[in-house]
Structure 1
């Protein structure tokens, strides 16, 4: 009897979760044609709030360790590139330029960068120094990370986590149990920093990132050579944060295809 009751409760919870899902289009397709409906179980505002709180914790921890924005020249460079990219986000969604964007550089030797929901960006100094990135290459990385935020990949992954019970406590929160705010924040942190993005999400971010760079006046072809640099720093394997991408050769071919597609946009931007 107890087993039957538990199974019934599980089915009821699953039904409630699925009933709450909405399939939406978070972005316009752009020139690269990213056009896919996404099933969402939590609201954009909830994920943005949780992301903002998580971001402030990371920034506060870096500041406490003396690792936040120590090199003024590098910070100015990174923020200058961001200031050119951010207005171009309107090509994919009209509300994005008005987000409360934040851009910071963390003193760390890691090959890492990310953009959380709502436009919270962190660049790690190791990524720039170890790979000797040009401005075009920084724009390629940043455009890729911004694309994750535009597509609300974190929100989509939190929703998937609820359905697949990766976050059982978050599922409980969805039906009125537990501590919703704290659990949602924990799950946002997990999908942002611990669990790798899916290959689909990474491919979408690659395509959109190339277009964002081109619209901002950065050479979209820089994205192709950038990943050669990545491979050279990881003994032929991609860094952990890129581990779900296609093979190196496949990825270069796809980036080259997208770069060619947006070259007219880049050339038009340069003539202005």
Structure 2
């Protein structure tokens, strides 16, 4: 009787997948700054791939907003956003030497969503509602913008894309070992998501919070404004959390952490104010 056992080759494939996962855990080029953000990250997707993807995605979003007459409809508010960005962007050199020379863009999109984001390579968008409904001051806009810029500096999007790639590779290897496909593997995928993406997502938010208050402080914006922002968010999110709060830490723990790091970078803020 001839055996058709495929277990051994499948185990080899699975081992190779796990080896690739471990080998890919590296530190990115982000420096620690005063807030001391430092962590190994899984980077399987190239930086250039992420930036090319961001360029296309950003252009598509702007084109859609323009077609719907929702792009940069408030010149005064747009000027305000870009002025704040122009103060924050030079401070990014504290975390990455290459960041000030990124092809930065800042645009305002008319939307009822309370959201703002920064894609890889410095593609920033603010939605009008987050400014209007929260009645944001310049310091508070700087807090949010600094947070979103920090996601790009720390390459959180690239890390999440790499995690998804490893998850898919792991599921492929698992299917070869067990012969299981379909719904059962979907459940395994959910486990992979919960193990790799959600906990790291909370880590990403904490890193961006801490780096964001440092960027704001170095640019001469009050770092305690970040605390005010999330207190406002806490009030609004009592019923339904805004999109910007999805997968974020609890408001209470976030505010406590921000208070600590705002105090840590306060001397940077006072120094910047003296030289402004």
Q: Give the TM-score band, short-chain normalised.
A: 0.7 to 0.9
Counterparts in 2 of 1:18 and 1:235: CA distance versus 1, 3 Å: closer
TM-score (norm 1): 0.84
Q: State the alpha-carbon separation in 2 of the partners of residues 150 and 46 from structure 1.
A: 16
Q: CA RMSD in A?
A: 2.3
**C-alpha contact (below 8 Å) 1:214/1:262 kept by paired residues:** yes
Q: State the alpha-carbon separation in 2 of the partners of residues 132 and 76 from structure 1.
A: 17
How many residues align? The count is 247
| Deviant stretches of 4+, over 4 Å | 166-169
Q: Indicate the residue corresponding to 2:126 in structure 1.
A: 123
**C-alpha contact (below 8 Å) 1:93/1:150 kept by paired residues:** yes
Q: Structure 1 stretches of 5 or more lacking a match? A: 170-194
Q: Cα deviations across residues 171-199 of structure 1 (Å, max 9, x unaligned)? A: xxxxxxxxxxxxxxxxxxxxxxxx99711
Q: CA deviation at 1:240?
A: 3.4
SS of 2:45 mapped into structure 1: coil
**C-alpha contact (below 8 Å) 1:197/1:244 kept by paired residues:** no
1:148 has 2:151 as partner: yes
Q: State the alpha-carbon separation in 1 of the partners of residues 86 and 227 from structure 2.
A: 23
SS of 2:168 mapped into structure 1: coil
Larger radius of gyration: 2
Q: Cα deviations across residues 3-44 of structure 1 (Å, max 9, x unaligned)? A: 638835852762574376251233111111101121211211
1:263 has 2:266 as partner: yes
Counterparts in 2 of 1:124 and 1:196: CA distance versus 1, 3 Å: farther
Q: Indicate the residue corresponding to 2:49 in structure 1.
A: 46
Q: Map residues 47-196 of structure 1 onto 2, 5 A cutoff.
A: 47-165=50-168
Q: State the alpha-carbon separation in 1 of the partners of residues 118 and 260 from structure 2.
A: 25
Counterparts in 2 of 1:19 and 1:233: CA distance versus 1, 3 Å: closer
**C-alpha contact (below 8 Å) 1:109/1:124 kept by paired residues:** yes
Q: State the alpha-carbon separation in 1 of the partners of residues 6 and 160 from structure 2.
A: 30
Q: Indicate the residue corresponding to 1:186 in structure 2.
A: none
TM-score (norm 2): 0.83
Q: Structure 2 stretches of 5 or more lacking a match? A: 173-197
**C-alpha contact (below 8 Å) 1:114/1:123 kept by paired residues:** yes
Q: Cα deviations across residues 220-250 of structure 1 (Å, max 9, x unaligned)? A: 0000011111122222564233232322221
Q: Indicate the residue corresponding to 1:173 in structure 2.
A: none
Counterparts in 2 of 1:15 and 1:244: CA distance versus 1, 3 Å: closer
